[in-house]
Structure 1
Amino acid sequence: MLYAILAYHVEAEVKSWNADEDAAVMAGLREVHQRLKGRLGPAARLGETRKASTLRGPGHGVVIDGPFAETKEQLLGFYVINCADEAEAIAAARDLRSVNPSAVYEIRALKLFIPGAAFPETAGPSDA
């Protein structure tokens, strides 16, 4: 089954890291990625929230600046991983967190949406 591991962090803290500190975290994450090889799908580090846009509202919607989360932490990246169950996905998130312990990781089951076709990893009883 596919899981999304969403990486939250206080963006100001991450931006305060100097190049060496950031490189050290990224090197540690690459080591975790190697341990997850064969199960790890796309992973991405998102751009700054201050440069983000949000589309909301009826009809064509209105584009507004940035996300407006009521939290100190922002979604800064994500992983897609194929795990047997939630416990295995949580273990992978713990491995990621071992490198970046001040980050918060949210684990969610993931269903890919491609009209007319479900991938075997995402097909559930209700998809039949």
Structure 2
Amino acid sequence: MEYMILIYADEKIYSDMPQAQMAAMMEEYGRYTEELEAAGVLRGGSELAPVHTATTVRLRNGKVVSTDGPFAETKEQLGGYYLIDCANLDEALHWAAKVPSAKDGSIEVRPLVTHG
């Protein structure tokens, strides 16, 4: 079954982070990604551009309304994701707990819907 690992954190933490600390965290993400690949569960993933680059689209009364930024004001923003293929939710949660940003953010695990 495929699961999305959605990575949420306060972007301000990363923009204020010293360069050496950021480099260490990115190395940790590299090792995590390699571990997912070695286990054969990784299907995709990416870091997202900062939330100020987002555009939210709504359809209201038949008209498209777009707004700069995310759809809601929150303390944590979606910063990236991994798409993994696991035997069950327990295995997906195992991998989610290893996401480096789990230490200071939150990780949402959500199964993909399959049709047919």
Q: TM-score, normalised by structure 1?
A: 0.80
The residue type paired with residue 57 of structure 2 is L
Aligned to 2:51: 49
The residue type paired with residue 32 of structure 2 is V
For structure 1, the 5+ residue unaligned runs are 112-121
Q: How many residues align?
A: 113
Q: Does 1:63 align with 2:69?
A: no
User: Do the aligned residues in 2 keep the contact of 1:25 with 1:100 (CA within 8 Å)?
Assistant: no
- Rounded to whole Å, the distance in 1 between the matches of 2:15 and 2:69 is 17
Aligned to 2:11: 11
- Deviation, 1:85, is 0.4
- Rounded to whole Å, the distance in 2 between the matches of 1:60 and 1:39 is 41
Of 73, 76, 80 in structure 2, the residue corresponding to residue 73 of structure 1 is 76
Instruction: Give SS of 1:61's match.
Output: strand
For structure 2, the 5+ residue unaligned runs are none
After superposition, the CA RMSD in angstroms is 1.6
Higher relative contact order (CA 8 A, sep 6+): 2
Q: TM-score, normalised by structure 2?
A: 0.87
- Deviation, 1:100, is 4.9
